Chain A
Amino acid sequence: MTSVARRLPTVLRPPQAQNIGGFDVEKLRRDFPILKQKIRGRRLVYLDNAATSQKPQAVIDAISHYYERDNSNVHRGVHYLSERATEEFENARQTVQRFINAASASEIIFTRGTTEGINLVAQTYGRTHVGPGDEILVTALEHHSNIVPWQLLRDEKGAKLRVAPVNDSGELLLEEFEKLLSPRTNIVAVTHISNAIGTVIPLRQIIEMAHRRNVPVLVDGAQAVPHLTVDVQALDCDFYTFSSHKLYGPTGMGVLYGKSALLDAMPPYQGGGDMISSVTFEKTTYNKLPYKFEAGTPHVAGAIGLGAAIDYVNALGIENLAAHEHDLLAYATEKVSALPGIRVIGTAKEKAAVLSFMLDGVHPHDVGTILDQEGIAIRTGHHCAQPVMQRFEVPATARASFALYNTREEVDVLVEGLQRVQEVFA
């Protein structure tokens, strides 16, 4: 056996099994069938939750049940199955409405994901409100999906894209943000939590600052919704968008929340079935909200799966999830930082569920490959946030991200894996 193949002793053990937030993690893990498998002969340690989360049996069952029992097209058939499918689909919309405390279910638009939600707003609200010389304000923490749709709009309209900077910890500089709000700013588009480095931004203050100047705010909530309570009315955001698949639900499904007054005034995004009231070759009358923005047969099973995912999260209590994940992040930050030659990227005071780091002399891609041999799944690369990498002058990072089913023991396995990486590259 080579020295590299030798298993390191576990030097860092948790003081005791964790049962934070009043739920039993080991028991919850049994709800996720995928976690039962072994990867390369080892227990799967899935720490790539910011990319996508795993799905509980309840979500898988809800989707299977729909296809086995209720599958039909929605909003059109007079037959029984269509009625049932429509009811399930609309129930899911109400589940989402309650989950983010929207004023009305008609403000919940189903999309393919966060990306589509942002593109929808850029192409409808954006195209009707942003003109030559106008400004779109984002932050230095954005995912490409909250940059590129605005660049497309900027280039089409001759507008400008402004970027609010962050400090060396990855915290948004609020004063700089406020200075960048100009009389020409027509929309603010910000991430709620950075996918690359985990910063939680001071959203309420940002929204207040923008609203004082009558500028609407779109929030990219892809990373936030799985980790904290979102109340769109309390935030007073104008648009909030997120993906189902990072919230234990299926892929290909997402939500755009918008205030009715704004949505009503916006032109449709795509044309097709379901988004119309009547069509002649001369004129089309558009459907009411939210259907005006849902052209074509929707992802019915996806919406039902998302509804089941929200029910699952609600049953556990998102505050409990947050407390558990916060404990894991603190524990992982402490243990990983204690290794020699580690640089944590993103040390904001307010962080959630993401630990991004560099290992001296080892490229993150090599870190990822070696950890994978241990059954540990992390993300390595630029995390679709190249400007964040440029800000911190790194080509890429290794990123461990946590979900409700992760444990301190898994963090220990990660730390052992990183020691092994250092051994290989010693």
Chain B
Amino acid sequence: MPDLRDLYQDVILEHSKAPRNFRELSAANHKAEGYNPLCGDHFTVYVDIDGDSIRDIGFQGSGCAISKASASMMTQILKGKSTAEAEQLFARFHKLVTGAPTANGDQTELGKLAVFSGVSEFPVRVKCATLAWHTLHAALEGKQQTVSTE
């Protein structure tokens, strides 16, 4: 039986209560909205890209602890990374939370994001953990439409 503590780790709870980079970026040149119609989670991700490097990133919106913490920690890890690195991290993060086999080094790359490994024991919460990442992906692609988890 999965343990609740695997899902609600202290770091996750802490980020959900005090999310980092929880703000609109006036300098953002990329932004997208993400929506999970199942539970009503709704975030906007703002990205300021310089060349192919993420100079600044922020988000706003509302959602459950998992989605909010995931968004918060995503913004922390991505600041200063290239857009290609961001997409690569998303792919690794997706594997992590869906419990897919990961390659050597994936865990190291993910760093603090490894706290989300417990999500794989709660399949209905995968969408919560990946909502911000899907939204980021849409922002990088320059899509205007709201992305939906459904």
Query: Footprint of B on A, CB under 8 Å?
Result: 2, 4-5, 40-41, 361-366, 369-370, 373, 380-382, 386, 389, 395-396, 424-425
The answer to whether A366 touches B5, judged by C-beta atoms less than 8 angstroms apart, is: no
The answer to whether B64 touches A4, judged by C-beta atoms less than 8 angstroms apart, is: no
**B37 closest partner in A (C-beta):** A382
Contact partner, B1, options A2, A40, A366, A425, Cβ 8 Å = A40
Contact partner, A364, options B1, B13, B39, Cβ 8 Å = B39
- Sample (6) of A-B pairs whose CB atoms are under 8 Å apart: A4-B5, A363-B41, A363-B63, A366-B66, A369-B122, A395-B40
Residues of A within 8 A of B7 (CB): 369
Interface status of B128 (Cβ within 8 A of chain A): yes
**A361 closest partner in B (C-beta):** B17
Contact partner, B38, options A369, A381, A389, A425, Cβ 8 Å = A381
The answer to whether B40 touches A369, judged by C-beta atoms less than 8 angstroms apart, is: no
User: How many angstroms from the CA of A389 to the CA of B3 in the assembled complex?
Assistant: 31
**B124 closest partner in A (C-beta):** A369
The answer to whether B3 touches A5, judged by C-beta atoms less than 8 angstroms apart, is: yes
The answer to whether B5 touches A369, judged by C-beta atoms less than 8 angstroms apart, is: no
Contact partner, B64, options A363, A382, A424, Cβ 8 Å = A363
The answer to whether B4 touches A425, judged by C-beta atoms less than 8 angstroms apart, is: no
The answer to whether A373 touches B65, judged by C-beta atoms less than 8 angstroms apart, is: no
* Size bracket, chain B contacts: 20 to 34
Residues of B within 8 A of A41 (CB): 1
The answer to whether A382 touches B40, judged by C-beta atoms less than 8 angstroms apart, is: yes
User: How many angstroms from the CA of A370 to the CA of B17 in the assembled complex?
Assistant: 17
Among B4, B42, B128, max chain A CB count under 10 A is at: B4
Residues of A within 8 A of B3 (CB): 5
Given contacts A362-B65, A363-B65, A369-B122, contact A424 B8 (CB under 8 A): yes
The answer to whether A396 touches B40, judged by C-beta atoms less than 8 angstroms apart, is: yes
Residues of A within 8 A of B38 (CB): 381
The answer to whether B5 touches A395, judged by C-beta atoms less than 8 angstroms apart, is: no
Query: Footprint of A on B, CB under 8 Å?
Result: 1-5, 7-8, 13, 17, 37-42, 62-66, 68, 122, 124-125, 128
A-B contacts at CB below 8 angstroms, number: 63
Closest 8 CB pairs of A and B: A363-B64, A395-B40, A365-B64, A365-B39, A396-B40, A366-B65, A366-B64, A381-B39
Given pairs A365-B39, A424-B4, 6 additional interface contacts (CB within 8 A): A4-B8, A364-B39, A366-B64, A389-B40, A396-B39, A425-B8
Residues of A within 8 A of B37 (CB): 382
The answer to whether B13 touches A424, judged by C-beta atoms less than 8 angstroms apart, is: yes
Residues of B within 8 A of A381 (CB): 38-40
The answer to whether B39 touches A370, judged by C-beta atoms less than 8 angstroms apart, is: no
Residues of B within 8 A of A396 (CB): 39-40
User: How many angstroms from the CA of A364 to the CA of B8 in the assembled complex?
Assistant: 14
Given contacts A363-B63, A363-B64, A395-B62, contact A373 B40 (CB under 8 A): no
User: How many angstroms from the CA of A395 to the CA of B37 in the assembled complex?
Assistant: 10
**A394 closest partner in B (C-beta):** B40
Smallest CB–CB gap between B64 and chain A, Å?
4
User: How many angstroms from the CA of A5 to the CA of B2 in the assembled complex?
Assistant: 12
Residues of B within 8 A of A395 (CB): 39-42, 62-63
Among A364, A365, A382, A395, max chain B CB count under 10 A is at: A365
User: How many angstroms from the CA of A4 to the CA of B3 in the assembled complex?
Assistant: 10
Contact partner, B5, options A2, A40, A386, Cβ 8 Å = A2
Residues of B within 8 A of A382 (CB): 37, 39-40
User: How many angstroms from the CA of A424 to the CA of B38 in the assembled complex?
Assistant: 23
Residues of A within 8 A of B65 (CB): 362-363, 366, 425
Residues of B within 8 A of A361 (CB): 17
Residues of A within 8 A of B125 (CB): 365, 369
Residues of B within 8 A of A40 (CB): 1
**B42 closest partner in A (C-beta):** A395
Smallest CB–CB gap between A336 and chain B, Å?
20
Smallest CB–CB gap between B115 and chain A, Å?
15
The answer to whether B62 touches A370, judged by C-beta atoms less than 8 angstroms apart, is: no
Smallest CB–CB gap between B25 and chain A, Å?
23
User: How many angstroms from the CA of A361 to the CA of B42 in the assembled complex?
Assistant: 16
**A370 closest partner in B (C-beta):** B4
Smallest CB–CB gap between B127 and chain A, Å?
10
User: How many angstroms from the CA of A2 to the CA of B7 in the assembled complex?
Assistant: 14
